[in-house]
Amino acid sequence: MEYSKVAIDLICGFVALFVLTKIVGKTSISQITPFDFISALVLGEIVGSGVFADEINAWHIIFALFIWGGLVYALEIISQKFKRSRAVLEGQPTVVIHKGKIDRERLKKSKLDIDQLQHLLRSKGTFSIRNVEYAILESDGSLSVLNKASFDPPSRKDHNMPLKSVYLPITMISDGEIIHDNLIEAGFDENWLKTQISSFGAKNAKEVLYAEWLEGEGLFVQKM
């Protein structure tokens, strides 16, 4: 009887989850928000707990799933019909780079650091912050990037211009701290770095939010 109960509960839970996914799951898959992620965990926990609890049968699982699914679906309807509710229910996009400058305060409010920002930029094919005019952190955690006009198509190849070698930008300073391994890899020392950042008006590394070195273009510095 125990095996048959587990089988029945699993089948019922599977069918109920499949139906709920069809009803409310499309948005969650394409634009998953923190709430959608938690909702998916809760749905899985309802089925998992119900399968191995003797006092809970298949009808209890189905009932709990559809109550939770109904609440999620109701929130979707509210966010579609009432625009003002979207900022609270779904969150708002945040501009973290504005006109080529990192907005440190918005970055902090979004619980994002420089390393995470660089990771998100690289996932979009942008390896240098200096290439970016605007970067927007979407409500689902993804990053939308608008590069500066000089880095947009048409490319050098389209104009039959000579191609240049490609170099990887090296982060020298992040959040006021020197990245010593990168500094050594680039063949420089702290004295050289201090001299360089002083030309940008920074007395020391603690006054620099971000600095990167790119072969052929030199040092890019943004102060705190």
DSSP 40-66: HHHHHHHHHHHHH-TT--HHHHHHHHH
| 164 and 211 Cβ atoms separated by less than 8 Å | no
**Domain range holding 171?**
165-223
Question: How far apart (Å, rounded) are the C-alpha atoms in residues 102 and 106?
Answer: 9
* Domain-embedded: residue 68: yes
- If we measure between CA atoms, which residue out of 114, 150, 119 comes closest to residue 132? 150
Burial class for 23, CB neighbours closer than 10 Å (0-12, 13-18, 19+): middle
| 205 and 172 Cβ atoms separated by less than 8 Å | no
Cut 0.95: pTM above it: no
| 62 and 12 Cβ atoms separated by less than 8 Å | yes
- Residue listed under structure tokens 């006009």: 149
Positive or negative CA dihedral for 24, 30, 33, 34?
Answer: positive
Identify the band that residue 28 occupies on the pLDDT scale cut at 50, 70 and 90.
very low
Q: For position 202, which CATH number holds?
A: 3.30.240.20
Please give the tally of structural domains in the chain.
3
- Domain shared by 80 and 113, yes or no: no
SS3 for 144?
Answer: strand
* Domain-embedded: residue 158: no
Does the pLDDT value for residue 29 go beyond 50? no
Question: How far apart (Å, rounded) are the C-alpha atoms in residues 182 and 172?
Answer: 6
Does the pLDDT value for residue 78 go beyond 50? yes
Q: Which of 5-14, 29-38, 117-126, 135-144 has the lowest mean pLDDT?
A: 29-38
- Domain shared by 8 and 49, yes or no: yes
| Structural tokens at position 14 | 């599977």
Q: Which of 33-37, 81-85, 129-133, 144-148 has the lowest mean pLDDT?
A: 33-37
Does the pLDDT value for residue 145 go beyond 80? yes
Question: How far apart (Å, rounded) are the C-alpha atoms in residues 56 and 66?
Answer: 15
| 68 and 90 Cβ atoms separated by less than 8 Å | no
pLDDT in tens, 175-197: 888 888 888 888 888 888 898 88
Does the pLDDT value for residue 31 go beyond 60? no
* Domain-embedded: residue 82: yes
* Domain-embedded: residue 159: no
Please report which residue ranges of the chain form alpha helices under DSSP H.
2-30, 34-52, 58-81, 86-89, 104-109, 114-123, 180-185, 190-198
- Domain shared by 44 and 111, yes or no: no
Q: Which of 17-26, 37-46, 163-172 has the highest mean pLDDT?
A: 163-172
Rounded to a whole number of angstroms, the distance between the first and last alpha carbons of the chain is 67
* Domain-embedded: residue 157: no
Domain boundary among 112, 129, 151: 151
